[in-house]
Amino acid sequence: MRALRRSRTRDARERLIQLILLVCAISSIFAIFLIIVFVFSQGVPFLAEAGLPFLTGSVWLPADSFAAGTWGIFPIILGSLVVTLGAVAIGAPLGIACAVFLAEIAPPAIRRVLVPSVSALAGVPSVVYGFFALLVIVPWIRGQFGGFGTSVLACWIILSIMILPTIISISTDAMRAVPREYKEGSLAMGATRWQTIRSVLIPAASSGIIASVILGMGRAIGETMAVLLVAGNSVTIPGSIFAPVSTLTAQIALEMNYATGAHQQALFAMGVVLFVFIMILTGLANLATRRRVTF
Amino acid sequence: MAAKRREMVPMGLLWGAGIATIIILVVILAYILAEGLPLISWHFLTANPGVRGQTGTGIYSTIVATVAVTGVALLVAAPLSVGGAIYLNEYTRENLLRKVIRQAAEVLAGIPSIIIGLFGFLFFVIYLLPYTGGWSVLSGGLTLAFMVLPISLRISEEALKAVPGELREGSLGLGATKWQSITTVVLPTALPGIVTGLILGMGRAIGETAAILLTAGGAIGLIHSLQDPCCPMTLYIYNILTEYNDTSTAYGTAAVLIIAILAITFITDWLMNSYTKKLKGL
């Protein structure tokens, strides 16, 4: 009888623990739910009131009340896109090449240095990247090409470095997952190492490589501090890569300090626009990994 | 032979890419450490920042602030992520719930820090003002917990997955309950992996700026309670650069941050290596 009672309390305890663990597990879902509800609750009403001109207008003169301001964020959206695409155009080839090197070519000694280097690159705080860019890259651009130095180009350079760890680590994993037989088969048929990399390894790992580039793009479009320090933050459509630029992230960070009323809501609306971009990119990355290359 | 020679260009480029990545890291770190390390002294670490223009001051209160917000973030995120990972790996099979949760963690990890900052501002600073004190250590730390959670959840789950099934079966076979097997067999085995996840999450919290900018308040004084506004090291770098143009203190602070990040990288690298070796040895 006592044994039975003990096993019953033991069962109850086990069930309680399982319930607590379940709550922990769904906390991520709850977190996303909270973020969406709160950010959208401020941003969506503003979007509804401002309508399409918010996205297409090119004059940004925020004010405390909706009527007093001019609300056009087209240059800011364009700035985010230009900065992101340029960073990916520079960072993706370098990152993918580095991943091939890491997965296929690097001698163990170099790999032992490179793998922690990539994690360290991922760990360096974004404000430190921005600091470095502000003190090294910006003056270099100013000296070489004139202007302020805070520019599209400065953003491209520093962001292309910041997205390297994302691209390298995911691409390397994808290449490591390619079955050894594919490569051995190719080499056995007389293909050289480079031919094997180009026509077997990269095609077989392509879905992971594409996903890595899309996630790198997400990292670049979402980056705030480094861009904030080197973009120049001027809400105009940049005329050249040496002109200052503004992005969604930097503009939010810059103006949240003092924004009130409609202005603050407009910044939340910009957050919603950024969120939509990120969701599109996440969806695309998922699509890319789902569509596996089969042989 | 001709084929070999034609290979030299692409293979050389691949080598170049690998070496370039190492060089980029070394240049950035070396530059900041070279400028910043000479500034670091006992005084720099233990004196409080002075008011504008005052030289020879330290960064003590910003270090305290970083430790405090990171501590709050870990205190919340660690049980949630480890508990969640245990549930996913030990209590569910590959089913819809598991897929949804894993997807949610992935989405959460991908949300830009500035959006999490907007949320933290609205939820913790404004909505929960009576509890958090508005812009404060608590608001900043709780906001950071949202960013630590997915990182540590994913790595803890991987660590648990790597624990061989025989260990669980052996423990259950000896009459232990599920929870007993988890606490006495599974968790101790997976501990290095779980700790790695938490340390990486900690690194994310230490280095985060944008979310902190909107939630912590940025007050430079030494904190006395969790409801005080504070200025962690990352935010301090941004503030002194943009407001006071004081690059030398910024270098010193950045050097302290980089040393912390390098320590984290080496510790996690070493932990993971010893973990995989240990499991292989089983």
pLDDT along chain B (282 residues), means of 10: 74 91 91 92 87 69 95 96 93 83 90 96 95 94 96 92 88 88 90 90 94 92 92 93 84 93 86 77 60
Residues of B in contact with A268 (CB under 8 A): 118, 122
Instruction: Give domain status of residue A10, yes or no.
Output: no
3-state SS, residue B135 = coil
Q: Examine the pLDDT at A20 and tell me if it is beyond 90.
A: yes
A97–B17: do the CB atoms touch at under 8 Å? yes
Instruction: Give domain status of residue A199, yes or no.
Output: yes
B261–A123: do the CB atoms touch at under 8 Å? yes
- pLDDT at site B277: 76
Instruction: Give domain status of residue A79, yes or no.
Output: yes
Quick check: B249 contacting A, CB < 8 Å? no
Q: First-to-last CA distance in chain B?
A: 47
Instruction: Give domain status of residue A84, yes or no.
Output: yes
Closest-CA residue in chain A for B28?
A132
User: What distance separates the 2 farthest-apart alpha carbons in chain A?
Assistant: 89
Q: For residue A32, which of B249, B106, B131 has the smallest C-alpha distance? A: B106
Quick check: B175 contacting A, CB < 8 Å? no
CA distance, residue A234 to nearest chain B CA (Å): 16
Determine phi and psi for A213, rounding to 5 degrees: -70, -40
Determine phi and psi for A224, rounding to 5 degrees: -115, -60
Please tell me which of the candidates A101, A117, A275 has its beta carbon nearest to residue B25.
Answer: A117
**Chain B from 44 to 73: CB within 8 A of any A CB:** none
Q: How many CB pairs under 8 A join A and B?
A: 244
Q: What is the mean pLDDT of residues A46-64?
A: 92
> What residue type is B155 in one-letter code?
I
**Chain B from 104 to 123: CB within 8 A of any A CB:** 104-108, 110-119, 121-123
- Model confidence at A295, pLDDT cuts 50, 70, 90, reads very low
Instruction: Give domain status of residue A69, yes or no.
Output: no
Closest-CA residue in chain B for A28?
B105
The CATH number for A185's domain is 1.10.3720.10
CA distance, residue A20 to nearest chain B CA (Å): 8
- Model confidence at A294, pLDDT cuts 50, 70, 90, reads very low
Residue-wise pLDDT for A62-99, tens only, equals: 998 888 889 999 999 999 999 999 999 999 999 999 99
Output the DSSP codes for B37-71.
GGG--HHHHHSPP-STT--S---HHHHHHHHHHHH
- Model confidence at A293, pLDDT cuts 50, 70, 90, reads very low
Residues of B in contact with A41 (CB under 8 A): 122
- pLDDT at site A214: 94
Instruction: Give domain status of residue A53, yes or no.
Output: no
B4–A192: do the CB atoms touch at under 8 Å? yes
CA distance, residue A53 to nearest chain B CA (Å): 23
> What residue type is A83 in one-letter code?
V
CA distance, residue A104 to nearest chain B CA (Å): 10
CA distance, residue A295 to nearest chain B CA (Å): 26
**What is the residue range of A91's domain?**
74-290
CA distance, residue B207 to nearest chain A CA (Å): 4
Residues of A in contact with B20 (CB under 8 A): 94, 98
Closest-CA residue in chain B for A248?
B114
Residue-wise pLDDT for A211-246, tens only, equals: 999 999 999 999 999 999 999 998 989 889 999 999
A282–B119: do the CB atoms touch at under 8 Å? no
* Residue whose pair of structure tokens reads 């052996």 in the numeric block: B170
Pairing of strands A70-71, A60-61: antiparallel
**Chain B from 8 to 27: CB within 8 A of any A CB:** 10-11, 13-18, 20-22, 24-26
Please check whether residue B210 is in contact with residue A253, taking contact to mean a CB–CB distance below 8 angstroms: yes
- Model confidence at A287, pLDDT cuts 50, 70, 90, reads confident
Q: Choose the mutation target among B107, B182, B215, B272 for the interface with A, i.e. most A CBs under 10 Å.
A: B107
Closest-CA residue in chain B for A13?
B179
Residue-wise pLDDT for A23-32, tens only, equals: 999 999 999 9
Partner residues linked to B230 by β-bridges = B217
What is the distance between the alpha carbons of residues A29 and B105, in angstroms, rounded to a whole number?
7
Q: What is the mean pLDDT of residues A140-146?
A: 92
Instruction: Give domain status of residue A13, yes or no.
Output: no
Q: What is the mean pLDDT of residues A238-264?
A: 93
- pLDDT at site A119: 87
Partner residues linked to A61 by β-bridges = A70
Q: Choose the mutation target among B81, B119, B157 for the interface with A, i.e. most A CBs under 10 Å.
A: B119
What is the distance between the alpha carbons of residues B60 and B44, in angstroms, rounded to a whole number?
7
Question: Tokens in use for A1?
Answer: 């009888």
B11–A105: do the CB atoms touch at under 8 Å? yes
Q: What is the mean pLDDT of residues A132-161?
A: 94
The number of distinct structural domains making up chain A is: 1
A26–B238: do the CB atoms touch at under 8 Å? no
What is the distance between the alpha carbons of residues B93 and B22, in angstroms, rounded to a whole number?
41
Query: With b meaning 16 or more CB within 10 Å and e meaning fewer, what string describes A28-53?
Result: bbebbeebbebbbebbeebbeebeee
CA distance, residue A179 to nearest chain B CA (Å): 21
Residues of A in contact with B25 (CB under 8 A): 117, 120-121
Output the DSSP codes for A200-224.
IIHHHTHHHHHHHHHHHHHHHHH--
Instruction: Give domain status of residue A173, yes or no.
Output: yes
| ipTM of this predicted structure | 0.91
Please tell me which of the candidates B179, B213, B262 has its beta carbon nearest to residue A14.
Answer: B179
CA distance, residue B239 to nearest chain A CA (Å): 11
